[in-house]
A and B are shown apart, each in its own frame.
Chain A
Amino acid sequence: MAEHDTKVDREPEQPAAEAAPSGSPWGAFGRGLLLAFSVPAAVLFGSALGFGALARDGGLSLAQAAFITASMQALPNQVVLIDQLARNETVLAAALAVAVTAVRLLPMTVTLVPLLGGRDRRPMLALLAVHFVAVTNWVEARRRLPSTALQARLPRYLGFGVATTAVALTGTVAGHIAAGHVPTVVAAALLLMTPLYFLLSLLATSQSRVDLVAIAMGCGLAPLLHVVAPGFDLLATGLIGGTLAFLLGRSGRGGADELSE
């Protein structure tokens, strides 16, 4: 993994093709695919490796792990799902926990859709586009699409989506296979990558003091509630910690500005 990272790090952040005038939709799609060779893609690959290892640890087959990655496209929700199923929660309880985690995707989708140009009215393409709403694609879209020609935005974004799906699937499959064949210490390191990636992503995308307090509350409450209310601890951590963070963060209104860089 470390080797993979350094290699990818040297790739230019802005591919040369970026400067070329936008041509056909397929050209834009192709430029979107280049996202597969970027630092964010390398990080996604690493955490997908961790997810594959985690899935195997939880007793899922390779095909099931790949199915989860392709259908859900959101690693935190995927880990919550595995966690809930491994604890023998009911399908309904698992779905509830996943749905609570996935609420983040709603505001992300709402802010992404206007960026896509809005010309294209083909519903299947729109459904495919929102299926790709996940942290990596969303961050890249906000960074790249505003400077992309209107008619090239949707194809380029779909290129992002196909690229990250391919990267995440490769990582999931590789992690699932590797977990059974590498020394325990390497498997343990793979398993540590997922929580690290999640926490760092939360830090990277936090926009206000509410977010930061919510992170602290979640970290502090989880061990306590794990002992007090096993089974409900994840949902309880979210509801209690999130509500407290919301109230605390809002009462100290002035703090929100400190974070804007």
Chain B
Amino acid sequence: MNFLNDGLGGYLTLFLAGFLATEVWRWLGLAVGSRLDVAGAPFQWVRAVATALVAGLVTRIVLFPAGALAAVALPVRVGAFAGGVALYLLARRNLAAGVGGGAALLIGAQLLLQ
């Protein structure tokens, strides 16, 4: 799976597709400042697109994983993930409880199944 070379070319790819593609929005935000109506409809749409994309990424990582996560059965992955969300809500929206709890559930379930 060596898709990125270790030399300058690899870092140039990361610089362009990673750093620049991200940082340009921060620069733009600094440049336009409060002249922009961030509560307006265009921004709501853009925000919805970015939100759906990240939610889609999450689903894809859980349902179609690569590497070590692929060694875990689908019901265990989905169960541990849903358990993490439930723990987050039960712990009054505590992120640490959700993230740590989900990981612990996955380990616990795998150990029980073996």
| Chain A contacts to B: CB under 8 angstroms | 1-2, 5, 9, 39-40, 42-43, 46-47, 53-54, 57-61, 64, 67-68, 71-74, 76-81, 83-86, 88, 91-92, 94-114, 126-127, 130-131, 133, 179, 184-204, 206, 208, 210-211, 213-219, 221-223, 225-226, 233-235, 237-243, 245-246, 249-250
Contact = CB atoms under 8 A, between A and B. Distances in A.
Given A103-B49, A110-B38, A189-B104, A196 B54 contact: no
Given A71-B23, A100-B49, A211-B51, 9 more contacts: A67-B11, A102-B24, A112-B29, A113-B30, A131-B23, A133-B26, A211-B47, A218-B56, A234-B56
A40 to B, nearest CB: 7
A51 to B, nearest CB: 11
Interface string B23-44: 1111111101110101001011
Nearest to B97: A5
B90 interface: no
Q: Is the interface of B mostly helix, strand, loop or mixed?
A: helix
Contacts, number: 341
Given A113-B30, A131-B26, A238-B56, A101 B104 contact: no
B42 to A, nearest CB: 10
Nearest to B63: A223
A198 B19 contact: no
Interface residues of B, number: 80
Contact of A47 (B14, B53, B99): B99
B81 A222 contact: no
A111 B25 CA distance: 13
A242 B48 contact: yes
